[in-house]
Amino acid sequence: MSDSAIKSGGASAPLGTSTDIDLSEVRDWIALLKPRVMSLVVFTGLVGLLVAPGHLHPVLAATAILCIAVAAGAAGAINMWYDRDIDAVMRRTAGRPIPAGRIRASSALAFGVLLSLASVMLMGLATNWVAAAVLAGSIGFYVFIYTMWLKRRTPQNIVIGGAAGAFPPMIGWAAVTGQVSLEAMVMFAIVFFWTPPHFWALSLFAHGDYQRAGVPMLPVVAGPKETRRQIWLYSLLLAPLALLPTVIGMAGLAYGAAALVLGGFFLESMWRVKRDAQDAEGRSLTNDAPARAAFRFSIIYLFVLFAALAADRLVFGA
């Protein structure tokens, strides 16, 4: 595929492999929903729902979580439709249902749009329309701001685009309270500032894929040395930011202690990335072992941090 086809955007690429035979299996349609990404989205949404003051009927709470999961999956399906040209040239994504020719691009788009509309309507009917509006905003942000606008244009794509992944705890909170308050924004900010070190750690050892696809990820555009510096700067912002729930009285000292310890480990992990043995141009001499470890730890960090927030509220009643 030519560079011009990639730079002009996925929507101008052909609508996938056209065939009369439907080659798709159920697991291909599930794969369109990016289930691995969904787990973190669902978990942070659930924590937002659990820590919010007030009560939501368990059936409605479960429906809200289902809506968050389906909306995240729907946005992922639309993202796969738009990015089918770059997915085809990236080793990591070439086996996805659209580039592999098992699902037609137009079918994936219809699937994504239908699920987006259904999840927003269901959220509004089951909980409230503030939560539904924030859910719709998160889908729109991921599809229009991140996928269609930023991803192919700026190395800061995941900094601003990362906001899309930060919405779920805010949606969970809004589902219970019917509003977006300071506490919801704090949870949003934690995920927002966690995203750059998390994704840039991944892009440090997967930049070959992004380079082939013409995606201007930071290591491709500014080099690995600058990427490590930015990872470190965002980590320095995240560690104290994660203490905010205790500072504003949203969580107690148990959460604060957990955030402090986790923040220490997070900084240590990212410091190893910054100090990785490298050549004059910043290329890792260790096959990016610290970045791989930091990427894995960053996922654990967010899971445990949000689990601590929920435990603090549920166990200690902060």
CB of 23 to another protein, least distance (A): 7
Number of alpha helices (DSSP H) and beta strands (DSSP E) in the chain: 15, 0
Q: Is 121 in the site for another protein (CB under 8 A)?
A: no
Residue closer to another protein, measured from CB, 24 or 211: 24
From residue 40 to residue 79, the character string flagging contacts with another protein as x (rule: CB under 8 A) and all else as - is -----------------x-xx--x--x-------------
Q: What's the CA gap between 127 and 313, in Å, rounded?
A: 22
Stretch that binds another protein, among 122-130, 247-255, 257-265, 296-304 (CB under 8 A): 122-130
Q: Is 17 in the site for another protein (CB under 8 A)?
A: no
Residue closer to another protein, measured from CB, 61 or 259: 61
Q: What's the CA gap between 168 and 163, in Å, rounded?
A: 10
Q: Is 182 in the site for another protein (CB under 8 A)?
A: no
CB of 55 to another protein, least distance (A): 10
**Size, binding site for another protein by CB under 8 A:** 16
Residue 8 DSSP code: T
- Rule CB under 8 A: choose which of 4, 20, 249, 280 binds another protein: 20
**84 and 98 Cβ atoms separated by less than 8 Å:** yes
- Rule CB under 8 A: choose which of 29, 265, 271, 303 binds another protein: 29
DSSP 3-state helix, strand, coil percentages of the chain (rounded to 5)?
A: 75, 0, 25
Residue closer to another protein, measured from CB, 64 or 250: 64
Stretch that binds another protein, among 18-26, 42-50, 147-155, 297-305 (CB under 8 A): 18-26
CB of 161 to another protein, least distance (A): 30
Residue 284 DSSP code: B
Residue closer to another protein, measured from CB, 57 or 296: 57
* Stated length of the chain: 318
SS (H, E, C) 232-282: HHHHHHHHHHCCHHHHCCCCCHHHHHHHHHHHHHHHHHHHHHHCCCECCCC
How far, in Å, are 37, 77, 101, 249 from residue 84 at the CA level? 18, 10, 10, 45
Stretch that binds another protein, among 118-126, 184-192, 237-245, 297-305 (CB under 8 A): 118-126
Q: Is 24 in the site for another protein (CB under 8 A)?
A: yes
Phi/psi of residue 99, nearest 5 degrees: -60, -25
CB of 76 to another protein, least distance (A): 17
Q: Is 254 in the site for another protein (CB under 8 A)?
A: no
Closest C-alpha among 208, 212, 237, 238 to residue 224: 208
Q: Is 126 in the site for another protein (CB under 8 A)?
A: yes
